[in-house]
Structure 1
């Protein structure tokens, strides 16, 4: 199953920079790297999303205000 990372600056409807990996470990490493690189920026949202048989599912997300949230 593919895993996607989405990086947005601004509201949820803003354009996202995305990347896709078939390895969960690689996607997780990229998610953590994006937090380190962009996590302190205002209005940033970073999402790790799994693309499964029932569609997309957010595994975890990061915002500067809330930090890391599982499944949101």
Structure 2
């Protein structure tokens, strides 16, 4: 059985890709703080070579990339679009 979150619900995803186009792991959190902590934790434990770590926000089935980390470029924050906007910490939240 598929469970669809109610409209307007924001979920946060962290993905870690080991090589470009290669395998990845991903997790989903309801709490933004938990997802940010996992994003930072992955950088500390797996941040090397070809690894790319990305934090996403998803609302109404649309994903917005919030932050991406690579060894060459470090932590790059992005301004979110369409109902999600960046907070001073560089992580987005709805309705701020």
- Tell me the TM-score normalised to structure 1 length: 0.89
Question: Could you say what secondary structure the match of 1:2 adopts?
Answer: strand
- Which runs of no fewer than 5 residues in structure 1 stay unpaired? none
Q: Which residue of 2 aligns with 1:27?
A: 35
RMSD: 1.5
For the residues of structure 2 that align with 1:43 and 1:64, how far apart are their CA atoms?
Answer: 7
Deviation at 1:15, TM superposition (A): 2.3
Structure with more contact order per residue of length (Cα contacts < 8 Å, sep ≥ 6)? 1
Q: Which residue of 2 aligns with 1:9?
A: 18
Q: Relative to total residues, which structure has the larger strand share, 1 or 2?
A: 1
- Which runs of no fewer than 5 residues in structure 2 stay unpaired? 1-9, 80-96
- Tell me the TM-score normalised to structure 2 length: 0.68
Q: Number of residues paired by the alignment? A: 70
Q: Relative to total residues, which structure has the larger helix share, 1 or 2?
A: 1
After superposing on structure 2, the runs of 4+ consecutive aligned residues of structure 1 that deviate more than 6 Å are none
1:37 and 2:45 aligned:
yes
